[in-house]
Amino acid sequence: MAPYDATAARMTVPLHDVAEAARLLLAGELVAFPTETVYGLGADARNARAVAGIFAAKGRPHFNPLIAHYASAAAAFADVVADARAAALAARFWPGPLTLVLPRRATCTVDLLAGAGLDTLAVRVPSHPLALALLAAVAVPVAAPSANRSGQVSPTTAQHVLEGLGGRIAAVLEGGACDVGVESTVLDLTDPKGAALLRPGGVTREAIEAVIGPVGQALPPALAAASATLRSPGMMLSHYAPALPVRLHAHDVAPGEALLAFGPPLPGAALVWNLSAAADATEAAARLFAGLRWLDAEGGRLGLARIAVMPVPEAGLGAAINDRLARAAAPRP
């Protein structure tokens, strides 16, 4: 499949047809759709290139983890490990504006880029009838951040989506104005000893506590936002550092180094993962997390000492790729 080219001019088609929206999603295109909170920018979450397309279309400067949307709790819990708290919250609030962060299963079908390389995954079953119909029609997880350009406000009408992303995505499924207008509540359940509110949203802390007990003091919005940033490990400087040290801006390969290549690979490496032989940043984004993991595992097995990384130009998704590579190379705690 050709890499998703976010710079290619697209006719963004307003759709009323769920089946056509599902067909486009399964073909690797980006389709915005209404949820009860805001319009989401959907991609087949299993398709790395489509997920990379989300970051390209939004113009995000870094890869933050996306929420995977499902038609049912059963489908969501096939990809993550749900404990009793998650099951009780899902029974009470799904479909609805509550996102649960849970450990990924080994068999999780969601692409690593969608989860920003984390071992956890944020999952949600939205309640908007069109969202549910679309998710049921595709029967795959759909990664969907808010359907706006990076830095702009979240869209609550199809017209907002067209204003921000028109020409950059395949279609928007028309569903009128969203009811809630605020984003979903994000609750971290990865610590069995305590749930943590990462982002306040459509379901209140009190309503959650009525089901699973204390969630801890809710923070004022500004602090909650800062804390969510800190707690989302994708944002931390040294998060997801491979076990092997990482050397950036490599123009040659030293003995004992594995190579993360971009474009024609440098000679001399015992182990090579090419992000994109064609030096395409969107293809490179789609292959970044899988490549780091593979080089780390295989390089470790082969007794290699380090991962050398060829320079990636800052243009387009190159900036987000370099942000992530800088984190992988940052000094370890």
Single residue of 3, 34, 53, 65 touching ligand AMP by CB under 6 A = 65
Nearer to ligand AMP, 3 or 145 (CB): 145
CB of 290: closest distance to ligand AMP in angstroms? 17
Query: What single DSSP character describes residue 234?
Result: G
| Partner that binds at residue 138, options Mg ion, ligand AMP, none, CB closer than 5 to 8 Å by kind | none
Cα separation, 287 vs 277, in Å, equals: 11
| Binding-site size, Mg ion (CB under 5 A) | 1
Cα separation, 224 vs 230, in Å, equals: 10
Contact flag: residue 100 with ligand AMP (CB under 6 A): no
Contact flag: residue 146 with ligand AMP (CB under 6 A): yes
CB of 138: closest distance to Mg ion in angstroms? 22
Contacts of 38 (CB under 8 A, 6+ apart): 146, 147, 154, 155, 156, 178, 180, 181, 182, 183
| Partner that binds at residue 64, options ligand AMP, Mg ion, none, CB closer than 5 to 8 Å by kind | ligand AMP
Strand partners, 186: 99, 199
Positions in 45-64 near ligand AMP (CB under 6 A):
64
C-alpha closest to that of 67 among 111, 107, 123: 123
The token pair that represents 293 in the structure block: 């993991």
Q: Are 203 and 295 in contact (CB under 8 A)?
A: no
The token pair that represents 67 in the structure block: 């929420």
Positions in 105-124 near ligand AMP (CB under 6 A):
115, 118, 120-122
Cα separation, 317 vs 283, in Å, equals: 9
Cα separation, 210 vs 225, in Å, equals: 23
Cα separation, 183 vs 199, in Å, equals: 9
Q: Are 27 and 140 in contact (CB under 8 A)?
A: no
Single residue of 128, 199, 205, 327 touching ligand AMP by CB under 6 A = 199
| Partner that binds at residue 150, options Mg ion, ligand AMP, none, CB closer than 5 to 8 Å by kind | none
CB of 165: closest distance to Mg ion in angstroms? 12
Nearer to Mg ion, 65 or 291 (CB): 65
Q: Are 45 and 141 in contact (CB under 8 A)?
A: yes
| Residue whose C-beta lies closest to Mg ion | 146
Contact flag: residue 183 with ligand AMP (CB under 6 A): yes
Q: Which x/- pattern over 87-126 shows residues binding Mg ion (rule: CB under 5 A)?
A: ----------------------------------------
Nearer to ligand AMP, 24 or 142 (CB): 142
What distance lies between CA 59 and its chain's CA centroid? 14
| Binding-site size, ligand AMP (CB under 6 A) | 19
CB of 286: closest distance to ligand AMP in angstroms? 18
Q: In what order do the strands lie in the sheet with 39-44?
A: 13-15, 171-173, 31-34, 39-44, 142-143, 67-69, 120-124, 98-103, 185-188, 196-199
Nearer to ligand AMP, 118 or 284 (CB): 118
Positions in 128-157 near Mg ion (CB under 5 A):
146
Residues near Mg ion, by CB under 5 A:
146
Residues near ligand AMP, by CB under 6 A:
64-67, 101, 115, 118, 120-122, 145-146, 183, 186, 188, 198-199, 228, 232
